[in-house]
A = this chain, B = another copy of it.
């Protein structure tokens, strides 16, 4: 993904990743898809709280959940991660361009 993410998307993803429990959920899901109930067990919070965290993660494109019969399975979704990476790349390109300009100016003044 090379397009610059929208402000609202960026806000959602960083808000989602700002919570430690949600990052733990992502770390767990990186190892493979898992059911909501199995995901909840080691987290030591209520199932309702896990479901709420999953909703935040789904809305920010970091997780996808799917219901088959009575089991809801969660898996990683990569688009949210791309939003973060692109946001950082955009900032980095700004400050690196500035360094380049500064370098060119210094080189120029050396030549004089």
Contacts and interface: CB of A to CB of B under 8 A. Distances in A.
Interface of A: 10-11, 14-15, 17-20, 23, 26-27, 29-32, 76, 78, 81, 84-85, 88, 91-92, 94-95, 98
A84 B81 contact: no
Contacts of A11: 20, 23
A10 B23 contact: yes
B95 A30 contact: yes
A46 B17 CA distance: 27
Contacts of A20: 11
Give the residue among A19, A29, A32 with the most B Cβ atoms within 10 A. Answer: A32
Given A26-B91, A31-B94, A76-B95, 4 more contacts: A27-B91, A30-B94, A32-B95, A76-B91
